[in-house]
Chains A and B, each alone.
Chain A
Amino acid sequence: MNAAATFGEAPRPAAAAPVVEIRGLRAWYRTRRFGIVRDVRAVDGVDLEIAPGEIYGLAGESSCGKSTLVKTVAGAVRPPLEVLEGTVRFRFRGGPIELYGGRPVDLRAVRWKHLSYVMQGSMSVLNPVRRVERSFVDFAFRHIGEPLPVFRRIVEEHLARLHLEPAVLRAYPHQLSGGMRQRVTIALATVCRPDLVIADEPTTALDVVVQKRVLAMIREAQRAIGSSLLFVTHDLTVHAALCDRLGVMYAGRLVEEGPTRAVLREPLHPYTRHLVASLPRIGDPSPRDGLAGAPPSLAAPPPGCRFHPRCPLAREFCRTSVPPLVPVGGGRRVACFVAAPETVP
């Protein structure tokens, strides 16, 4: 593909066609020792789609499988992680790609150009003994395919979108503040104008004032380049400010999904309802309860609905049958027998 197609007005797929389509994905950590197979069912049957230009938020507590899902979508599957079932289908400008569909796929051509990744620790992305400019050359020069002066101008223009001066290119990572460093990694991930950016807890390490500014810049940059964004964090207040749609994961499964405002205003799943109700608010000192019990072990998840041991509404059939994730109108889906009674077996 030539440079014009990358930076010009390449036709995007029709609005209805999702950028990424995940179908029945099962990704388990599988270890075999002395013939004994042990599984950790980190992602256990997830279906979701992300539309072009959409910010999709993924919420859930630690060890609910959200980072594993992200790794699987990014094609970073290494043992002991195995994909047992399901597919991840991308519709990039460069053409469709299907992961785990039987044929091996070379992702190197796609990474950074069409699919990029922002991690939590900015120091683990930037080389501490190299100037920032060097990281940009390493990551993006090949994909942009322009001579160095043009490349540098593109990078500087892009840095300006994240309110960074061109001078950061000459700096070493340790000379930048945490917020600036995180913006540099965001700039790195978005400079090639990828179709899909995956961000895994990119602002969790920042304090409140800086976090809010970085989130605002992420959204501004996302609007400007028109990428889709898969944004993972356990912090619902971040989702409320940033995401168009929100998916809530619990113990390896998606339990609720819908437009962010609707999900947070009127949560359907008991787990989401608890998450929203437990958030403390300034100006409201009324007592709030934590959720009793501990998140289930993914090595031996409870049968039936995985939330039933902690669920205040659990019935008999919740212990034995798995609630399917079904549409309930308003673009929302929920996996709960109580919220969607028609799914009761």
Chain B
Amino acid sequence: MSPPLLEVDAVSRTFVQGGLLAGRRIRAVDGVSFTLANDRPEIFSVIGESGSGKSTLARMILALLPPSEGVIRFEGRPFSALRRRRDRLAFMARVQPIFQNPFAAFNPLKRVDRYLFATARTFTGATDRETAARQVDEALRRVGLSLAEVGGRYPHELSGGQLQRVAIARALIPGPRLIVADEPVSMVDASLRMAIVNLFKMLRDELRVSIVYITHDLATAYYISDRVIVMRRGRVVESGPARTVLDAPTHPYAIELKKAVLSVDAGPAALDAALAAQEEEPSIAR
């Protein structure tokens, strides 16, 4: 039996805010555990509002930030073993990120294909331009673009949806097993959102890539996820199969989150309930 793809084991992360003596400790992530199986790719959603620690969790899974407590293992090896450059590159080839804002992810002064070629050279060992171009084109075709379309273009010449697809193509070049997508559609318009989300389904079903999908959009999470966890203030408050959790949440916070989702069918009555349910609010600091 092969080790699980990703094992997040009682992971916490504490930040210290303020001075050396008067610092305030903030637990951004507090004892989170979950496991992604190796043999069965899935889309695993992390849901929560801003400040719930979901982006900190993403950075830890990408090994950009070490956990304060707990261990994360990828294919059985703990992240603390990633010391040498070769190990680190091998890890990065297998775990790739997609970020929230495609306009911020690409340098506006550089052509977008530059990133694609750099990724191909670094991770796949393509030494000549033809091999790299073939790999880049193949990755772009997977997301419905082509090198002929994107080559030589600057980020401002592409739409947000196209650019996000280029970001996904870039993540696919090294042939990853896991993609960590941090709010990948929150900057994308509604009309293009579904195209991106459907792309994730294709990655899971055809390329057998597992995806950690981080979002506050419950509707898309419901649409694509296999399993979800709901986070609040660093802790997991509810977890389980996506349909079960989102159809009938049991934790009060998960219920509140679901109620906050606006729908085109609900109409103006939805807002009256929001005002009636005034809950405690953090008062002004100090």
Contact = CB atoms under 8 A, between A and B. Distances in A.
B274 interface: yes
A171 interface: yes
Interface string B265-286: 1111011101100100111111
Contacts of A240: 262-268
B257 interface: yes
A176 interface: yes
Contact of B192 (A171, A210, A279, A290): A290
Given A209-B257, A279-B219, A290-B198, A216 B284 contact: no
Given A167-B284, A282-B218, A290-B192, A237 B262 contact: yes
Contact of B190 (A171, A209, A211, A235): A235
Given A212-B274, A220-B275, A241 B262 contact: yes
B247 interface: yes
B91 interface: no
Given A212-B260, A275-B190, A281 B198 contact: no
A222 B197 CA distance: 36
A141 to B, nearest CB: 23
Contacts of A213: 274-275, 278
Interface in B83-121: none
B26 interface: no
B15 interface: no
Nearest to A63: B159
Contact of B161 (A167, A207, A294): A294
B50 interface: yes
Contacts of B194: 278, 280, 288-290
Interface string A172-184: 0001111010000
B275 A217 contact: yes
Interface residues of A, number: 53
Contacts of A74: none
B191 A278 contact: yes
A219 interface: yes
A104 interface: no
Interface in A172-230: 175-178, 180, 206-213, 215-217, 219-220
Interface string B154-168: 000001111000000
Nearest to A292: B195
B262 A212 contact: yes
Nearest to A276: B264
B190 A62 contact: no
For A211, A213, A235, the residue with the greatest tally of chain B CB atoms inside 10 Å of its CB is A213
For A171, A237, A280, A291, the residue with the greatest tally of chain B CB atoms inside 10 Å of its CB is A280
B218 A219 contact: no
B265 A207 contact: no
B206 interface: no
A168 B190 CA distance: 35
A61 interface: yes
Contact of B284 (A63, A175, A275, A278): A175
B261 interface: yes
Nearest to B187: A62
Instruction: Determine the interface band of chain B, counting residues with CB < 8 A from chain A.
Output: 35 or more
B13 interface: no
A318 interface: no
A242 B268 contact: yes
B95 to A, nearest CB: 26
B191 A291 contact: yes
Nearest to A205: B50
A181 to B, nearest CB: 11
Contacts of B284: 165, 167-168, 171, 175-176, 180
B282 A241 contact: no
A234 interface: yes
Nearest to A261: B267
Given A210-B49, A282-B218, A285-B223, A61 B275 contact: no
Nearest to A207: B49
Contact of A282 (B193, B247, B271): B247
Nearest to A168: B284
B275 A282 contact: no
B190 A279 contact: yes
Contacts of B268: 219, 240-242
Contact of A274 (B162, B191, B243): B191
A266 to B, nearest CB: 12
For A61, A238, A241, A274, the residue with the greatest tally of chain B CB atoms inside 10 Å of its CB is A241
A285 B193 contact: no
B34 interface: no
A240 B193 CA distance: 19
B274 A207 contact: no
Contact of A175 (B197, B216, B258, B285): B285
Nearest to A64: B189
B246 interface: yes
B123 interface: no
B258 A282 contact: yes
A209 B260 contact: yes
A264 interface: yes
A61 B193 CA distance: 11
Contacts of A209: 49, 256-257, 260
Nearest to B277: A213
For the complex of A and B, the 4 pairs showing the least CB-CB separation, nearest first, are A290-B195, A237-B262, A61-B189, A280-B223
Interface of A: 61-63, 163, 165, 167-168, 171, 175-178, 180, 206-213, 215-217, 219-220, 234-238, 240-242, 261, 264, 274-276, 278-283, 285, 287-291, 294-295
Given A61-B191, A180-B284, A209-B260, 15 more contacts: A167-B283, A180-B281, A208-B216, A208-B261, A212-B260, A212-B271, A216-B272, A219-B268, A220-B275, A238-B262, A264-B265, A282-B246, A283-B222, A285-B223, A289-B195
